[in-house]
Chain A
């Protein structure tokens, strides 16, 4: 075969590959709708420190109708504020050993109880909203109902817990008393295919009991229906562990929440932003959270009933309220 023909054939092949890759990238990237809400920063509070109202690496947030609960991770406590940022109380860093938190991460509130994923103690710790310790769910290990660094939790209406079990590379479903029901993912093994995880960081259950997983280092969201079956995924090229900063893509997903209109809110940590999607993964909006230029910003967020977002700026050790423009 003539070498010129080979070269021409190779060039055509390269061009076709580049073309198909471009088409694929286009197909997998979203753009922000022109009617997207523009969010603006309303106010912020906190800075690095140990005193009440100060933080050392805040990492998780949950809200009620009038209070905001923050995982103040390196201070090993939960701090509670009103919506304007006034300090109300703190707990988790005093009392008996069982009461004490090690490294609190993502949070959930259900039936007037606060569920805290405690990374260092390999447990979900449950407190009343006033801060009274109630119970512990789980212990260290990789067996059913055990955890290796739980980092995210949500609770269904029937009381079942869904836990992102970070180092065990799985999501566990447990009943109210902590008994194992089922799991998604293969214990201790990462994977990029559907139903596998690469350090899952958070979970959210919608009103129809569909499960949304922040599949951290796979840079995607995975969805499972209320029968537990894999439904769909999004983020990056075909949702297959390809990170990036294009709209709708992620570079390390660190928390996921469901808003009042059943929209899905995702913190995209290394891209310093929150992205908002509908349940099928169609991009609705992006809120860029300026970092301090050294460390990344958006690590966790919560959505209030009026659509306001409370976002943790991790690098600045502060809480920010962002409001949609009317």
Chain B
């Protein structure tokens, strides 16, 4: 019985840890007009696993939240930003 409870707890913990959502804060060069912002937003909203995209024009930040444990490499994020015609300067990642 003890074993069963332990296995269940480990299983729940594993699911929580591995299904954690992630937030990426990306600083993007030259991001200040809505024409630019919407291009990046459109690219991310069409990317699988992205839950939300927020653009902070004031600080030149793109904030992307993922769902179902989806993660992106820095190269992939750079590629999406590049496709939208911009350059990613830096990026931070945190689990939610």
Contacts and interface: CB of A to CB of B under 8 A. Distances in A.
A73 B37 CA distance: 12
A273 interface: no
A140 B42 CA distance: 12
Contacts of A294: 58
A199 interface: yes
B35 interface: yes
Contact of B42 (A57, A149, A254): A149
Contacts of A233: none
B38 interface: yes
A119 B45 CA distance: 13
Interface in A58-86: 59, 73
B57 interface: yes
A125 interface: no
A59 B39 CA distance: 14
Contacts of B38: 73, 103, 119-120, 149
A191 to B, nearest CB: 14
B41 to A, nearest CB: 8
Interface in B53-95: 57-58, 85
A59 B34 contact: yes
A119 B37 CA distance: 11
Contact of B39 (A167, A270, A296, A299): A167
Nearest to B59: A294
B79 to A, nearest CB: 16
Interface in A154-171: 166-167
B20 interface: no
A314 interface: yes
B85 A57 contact: no
A121 B21 CA distance: 28
B15 to A, nearest CB: 34
A95 B67 CA distance: 28
Nearest to B37: A57
Nearest to A269: B33
B34 A73 contact: yes
Nearest to A57: B34
Contacts of B35: 105, 151, 166, 199, 201, 216, 254
A201 B39 CA distance: 13
B71 to A, nearest CB: 25
A149 B34 contact: no
Given A103-B38, A295-B57, A295-B58, A270 B32 contact: yes
A76 B56 CA distance: 18
Contacts of B85: 167, 199
A252 interface: yes
B33 A296 contact: yes
B33 A270 contact: yes
16 contacts: A57-B34, A59-B34, A73-B34, A103-B38, A119-B42, A120-B42, A120-B45, A149-B39, A201-B35, A252-B33, A269-B33, A270-B32, A295-B58, A296-B32, A296-B33, A314-B34
Interface of B: 32-35, 38-39, 42, 45, 57-58, 85
**7 smallest beta-carbon distances between A and B, as pairs:** A119-B38, A294-B58, A103-B38, A57-B34, A269-B33, A59-B34, A120-B42
